[in-house]
Structure 1
Protein backbone atom coordinates (compact mmCIF):
# COMPACT_ATOMS: atom_id res chain seq x y z
CA UNK A 1 0.00 0.00 0.00
CA UNK A 2 2.80 2.37 0.77
CA UNK A 3 4.14 2.10 -2.78
CA UNK A 4 0.69 2.93 -4.18
CA UNK A 5 0.45 6.02 -1.97
CA UNK A 6 3.88 7.14 -3.11
CA UNK A 7 2.96 6.55 -6.77
CA UNK A 8 -0.33 8.44 -6.37
CA UNK A 9 1.43 11.27 -4.58
CA UNK A 10 4.07 11.49 -7.30
CA UNK A 11 1.42 11.47 -10.02
CA UNK A 12 -0.50 14.23 -8.23
CA UNK A 13 2.68 16.27 -7.76
CA UNK A 14 3.55 15.86 -11.45
CA UNK A 15 0.03 16.86 -12.44
CA UNK A 16 0.15 19.92 -10.18
CA UNK A 17 3.56 20.91 -11.56
CA UNK A 18 2.24 20.51 -15.11
CA UNK A 19 -0.79 22.69 -14.31
CA UNK A 20 1.39 25.33 -12.65
CA UNK A 21 3.77 25.39 -15.60
CA UNK A 22 0.88 25.80 -18.06
CA UNK A 23 -0.60 28.61 -15.96
CA UNK A 24 2.75 30.39 -15.79
CA UNK A 25 3.30 30.00 -19.54
CA UNK A 26 -0.18 31.38 -20.23
CA UNK A 27 0.51 34.36 -17.95
CA UNK A 28 3.85 34.96 -19.67
CA UNK A 29 2.18 34.77 -23.07
CA UNK A 30 -0.43 37.32 -22.00
CA UNK A 31 2.27 39.66 -20.67
CA UNK A 32 4.23 39.36 -23.91
CA UNK A 33 1.15 40.11 -26.01
CA UNK A 34 0.35 43.13 -23.84
CA UNK A 35 3.94 44.40 -24.14
CA UNK A 36 3.94 43.97 -27.91
CA UNK A 37 0.58 45.70 -28.30
CA UNK A 38 1.56 48.63 -26.06
CA UNK A 39 5.16 49.23 -27.09
CA UNK A 40 6.26 47.45 -30.25
CA UNK A 41 3.23 47.66 -32.55
CA UNK A 42 2.76 51.45 -32.20
CA UNK A 43 6.47 52.05 -32.84
CA UNK A 44 6.48 49.86 -35.94
CA UNK A 45 3.26 51.46 -37.17
CA UNK A 46 4.69 54.95 -36.72
CA UNK A 47 7.89 53.98 -38.54
CA UNK A 48 5.92 52.45 -41.41
CA UNK A 49 3.70 55.52 -41.70
CA UNK A 50 6.77 57.75 -41.71
CA UNK A 51 8.42 55.64 -44.42
CA UNK A 52 5.28 55.74 -46.57
CA UNK A 53 5.01 59.50 -46.14
CA UNK A 54 8.67 59.97 -47.07
CA UNK A 55 8.34 57.75 -50.13
CA UNK A 56 5.22 59.64 -51.22
CA UNK A 57 7.04 62.99 -50.81
CA UNK A 58 10.03 61.71 -52.79
CA UNK A 59 7.81 60.42 -55.60
CA UNK A 60 5.97 63.74 -55.79
CA UNK A 61 9.27 65.63 -55.87
CA UNK A 62 10.61 63.42 -58.68
CA UNK A 63 7.37 63.82 -60.64
CA UNK A 64 7.66 67.61 -60.40
CA UNK A 65 11.32 67.37 -61.42
CA UNK A 66 10.42 65.32 -64.52
CA UNK A 67 7.58 67.72 -65.39
CA UNK A 68 9.99 70.66 -65.18
CA UNK A 69 12.58 68.95 -67.38
CA UNK A 70 10.01 67.86 -69.96
CA UNK A 71 8.41 71.29 -70.17
CA UNK A 72 11.86 72.94 -70.50
CA UNK A 73 12.92 70.72 -73.43
CA UNK A 74 9.82 69.13 -74.99
CA UNK A 75 11.45 68.07 -78.28
CA UNK A 76 14.33 66.38 -76.51
CA UNK A 77 11.84 64.56 -74.25
CA UNK A 78 9.83 63.35 -77.25
CA UNK A 79 13.04 62.16 -78.95
CA UNK A 80 14.21 60.28 -75.88
CA UNK A 81 10.76 58.69 -75.46
CA UNK A 82 10.77 57.60 -79.11
CA UNK A 83 14.23 56.03 -78.82
CA UNK A 84 13.37 54.25 -75.56
CA UNK A 85 10.10 53.00 -77.06
CA UNK A 86 11.87 51.74 -80.16
CA UNK A 87 14.55 49.92 -78.13
CA UNK A 88 12.00 48.34 -75.78
CA UNK A 89 9.89 47.30 -78.75
CA UNK A 90 12.85 45.61 -80.39
CA UNK A 91 13.83 43.86 -77.16
CA UNK A 92 10.32 42.53 -76.56
CA UNK A 93 10.28 40.55 -79.83
Structure 2
Protein backbone atom coordinates (compact mmCIF):
# COMPACT_ATOMS: atom_id res chain seq x y z
CA UNK A 1 0.00 0.00 0.00
CA UNK A 2 1.15 3.57 -0.61
CA UNK A 3 1.05 6.49 1.81
CA UNK A 4 1.79 10.15 1.20
CA UNK A 5 3.27 12.05 4.10
CA UNK A 6 6.20 13.82 5.68
CA UNK A 7 9.14 12.57 7.71
CA UNK A 8 6.93 13.00 10.78
CA UNK A 9 4.77 10.12 9.50
CA UNK A 10 7.79 7.79 9.67
CA UNK A 11 8.31 7.97 13.43
CA UNK A 12 7.67 4.65 15.14
CA UNK A 13 6.84 2.84 11.90
CA UNK A 14 8.75 0.49 9.59
CA UNK A 15 8.60 0.29 5.80
CA UNK A 16 10.01 -1.99 3.13
CA UNK A 17 10.32 0.88 0.64
CA UNK A 18 10.37 4.66 0.98
CA UNK A 19 10.27 7.03 -2.01
CA UNK A 20 11.39 10.59 -1.29
CA UNK A 21 11.21 13.07 -4.17
CA UNK A 22 12.23 16.27 -2.40
CA UNK A 23 14.97 18.84 -2.85
CA UNK A 24 18.51 18.03 -1.74
CA UNK A 25 18.62 19.87 1.60
CA UNK A 26 15.45 18.19 2.87
CA UNK A 27 16.67 14.76 1.75
CA UNK A 28 19.94 15.26 3.58
CA UNK A 29 18.27 16.62 6.72
CA UNK A 30 15.83 13.69 6.89
CA UNK A 31 18.21 10.91 5.79
CA UNK A 32 18.70 9.36 9.24
CA UNK A 33 14.95 9.32 9.94
CA UNK A 34 14.32 7.59 6.60
CA UNK A 35 17.07 5.04 7.34
CA UNK A 36 15.57 4.36 10.76
CA UNK A 37 12.10 3.81 9.26
CA UNK A 38 13.33 1.11 6.85
CA UNK A 39 13.25 -2.56 7.72
CA UNK A 40 16.61 -4.35 7.32
CA UNK A 41 17.08 -4.87 3.58
CA UNK A 42 14.55 -2.11 2.84
CA UNK A 43 14.91 0.23 -0.14
CA UNK A 44 15.09 4.03 -0.15
CA UNK A 45 14.59 5.79 -3.49
CA UNK A 46 15.78 9.39 -3.50
CA UNK A 47 14.90 11.90 -6.22
CA UNK A 48 14.27 15.62 -6.62
CA UNK A 49 17.89 16.77 -6.81
CA UNK A 50 20.25 17.57 -9.67
CA UNK A 51 23.13 15.39 -10.85
CA UNK A 52 25.70 17.96 -9.67
CA UNK A 53 24.46 17.48 -6.08
CA UNK A 54 24.54 13.67 -6.16
CA UNK A 55 27.85 13.38 -4.29
CA UNK A 56 26.40 15.29 -1.31
CA UNK A 57 23.30 13.10 -1.18
CA UNK A 58 25.40 9.91 -1.51
CA UNK A 59 27.65 11.05 1.35
CA UNK A 60 24.63 11.82 3.53
CA UNK A 61 23.10 8.40 2.77
CA UNK A 62 26.34 6.60 3.61
CA UNK A 63 26.71 8.55 6.85
CA UNK A 64 23.18 7.43 7.79
CA UNK A 65 24.21 3.79 7.26
CA UNK A 66 22.72 3.16 3.82
CA UNK A 67 24.42 1.37 0.94
CA UNK A 68 24.15 2.50 -2.67
CA UNK A 69 22.30 0.11 -4.97
CA UNK A 70 21.45 2.17 -8.07
CA UNK A 71 22.26 5.52 -9.66
CA UNK A 72 20.27 6.94 -12.54
CA UNK A 73 19.77 10.31 -14.12
CA UNK A 74 17.50 11.88 -16.68
CA UNK A 75 18.90 15.10 -18.02
CA UNK A 76 19.94 17.17 -15.01
CA UNK A 77 17.82 15.16 -12.52
CA UNK A 78 19.26 12.32 -10.43
CA UNK A 79 17.77 9.28 -8.70
CA UNK A 80 19.52 7.16 -6.09
CA UNK A 81 18.48 3.74 -4.94
CA UNK A 82 19.78 2.85 -1.47
CA UNK A 83 19.33 -0.08 0.90
CA UNK A 84 19.42 -0.48 4.63
CA UNK A 85 21.78 -3.40 5.25
CA UNK A 86 20.41 -6.59 6.82
Identify whether the pair has TM-score above 0.5, normalized to the shorter chain: no
As a proportion of its length, which structure holds more strand? 2
Which has the higher Rg, Structure 1 or Structure 2?
A: 1
- Name which structure has the greater RCO, CA cutoff 8 Å, separation 6+: 2
TM-score (normalised: structure 2): 0.19
